[in-house]
Structure formats: C-alpha cells, structure tokens
Amino acid sequence: MLGPIHTIQSALKIFGEKGGNIINISSGASKYPLPGASLYSSTKAALDAFTIALSKELGSRKVRINSILPGATDTEGARTAGVTEGSDHEKMFIANTPLGRRGQPEDIAKAAVFLASDDAAWITGEQISVSGGMYGF
C-alpha cells in the first residue's frame, strides 16, 4: 500500500485545477483470495477500498480514481510465481476463464487507456474487472 499512497500523494501535487486521473492496478484476488496468497489478496483489497474512499474525497478536485482488477495475466510476475506456459497453474486459470486463455498485458493496457480517456469522464471509484470472465462481479 505504501507505493500507491506515495505515488498518489505526489501526483496530487502536480494535478492542479484541471484535476487528473489515477488508475490503480489491483487484482481479482482482492475479491476472490487464493490459497497461499493472503498477503497479496489483502493488500489488493485494501487498495480497492482506498480507491473508493479517495474517489469520494477527491471528486470535488476533479480527480477520478479507479482500480483495474486483472485476472490471470501473462506477466513476468506471474511467471516468477510459477504460472508458466503449460503449468498446472496455467491450466487451472484457463479452465476457470470463460474466454479460455490467459490475459495479455495489452488486454489490461487497453482498459487503462479507456479509463484515462475523456470517454470515461463519468467513471470514478470503480473496480473494473479485466479477467476474461474469470471473476464474474
């Protein structure tokens, strides 16, 4: 949580009168914790709560803040955690994802680009699942 807190504090100093946009990267594990990932899941849940609270505190300053909750995404961190191509972990994630594949970084990036755009001007305090349907909330 310290990373997002310090980053947001620094960003708020430079936003000015026009406001700004903050996009936190959370995880679907904040809603559906995985065994062996209690610390990870709980810090992501805290980030989601922080996002909602800040959206209410910063709205009058024209600051929008949202969280993206990725599902199983092919990242360096996932590979380091053992979710490699063909692994039992990957097979389990794919079996639980209606779109039948792991996400790619570009899938998450496209959601972030949308949230950063004027097309999302009425969206704040939200937790946007980008999980291929893995997390149906």
**DSSP letters of 37-104?**
-HHHHHHHHHHHHHHHHHHHHHGGGTEEEEEEEE-SB--HHHHHTT--TT-HHHHHHHHT-TTSS-B-
**Is 90 within the bounds of a domain?**
yes
Q: Which residues are catalytic?
A: 40
For 92-120, the pLDDT digits (tens) are: 887 888 888 888 999 999 999 999 999 99
**Is 77 within the bounds of a domain?**
yes
pLDDT at 71: 86
> For residue 101, what are the domain limits?
2-6+20-130
**Is 120 within the bounds of a domain?**
yes
**Is 100 within the bounds of a domain?**
yes
pLDDT at 137: 54
Identify the CATH number of the domain in which residue 97 sits.
Answer: 3.40.50.720
The identity of residue 64, as a single letter, is R
pLDDT at 136: 66
For 33-83, the pLDDT digits (tens) are: 988 889 999 999 999 999 999 999 999 999 999 999 998 888 788 777 777
**Is 124 within the bounds of a domain?**
yes
**Is 105 within the bounds of a domain?**
yes
pLDDT at 97: 84
How many structural domains compose the chain? 1
**Is 35 within the bounds of a domain?**
yes
**Is 135 within the bounds of a domain?**
no
